[in-house]
Amino acid sequence: MDTFAGEKPGSEPEEAKLQNASKQIVQNAILRAVQQVSRESQQKEECTTTSRNRLQLGVGKLTKKYEKK
């Protein structure tokens, strides 16, 4: 392997450490992003379910209101 100006011969282990650290940083960032998207999707689903339940309750109240007449 060729060495660059100012690079010490035998610095491959240092380069390997940097590559491994970079891979770990990227993996952690991806994991955090996936977890965030998962949380946001779950919150959106909960919000949609809550809204749907409120709408159904509202329709039930309207139906009962008209049944009384």
Contact 15, 1 (CB under 8 A): no
Residue 11, sorted as left (phi over 0), alpha (psi -120 to 50) or beta, turns out to be alpha
- Kind and range of the H or E element at 54? helix 12-68
Q: Check residue 43 and give its pLDDT.
A: 86
What are the pLDDT digits (tens) for 2-59?
A: 555 555 555 679 999 999 999 999 999 999 999 999 999 988 888 777 777 777 766 6
Q: Check residue 7 and give its pLDDT.
A: 56
Q: Check residue 45 and give its pLDDT.
A: 84
Q: Give the C-alpha separation, 52 to 41, whole Å.
A: 16
- Cβ neighbors of 11 (< 8 A, separation 6 or more) are 3
Q: Check residue 1 and give its pLDDT.
A: 46
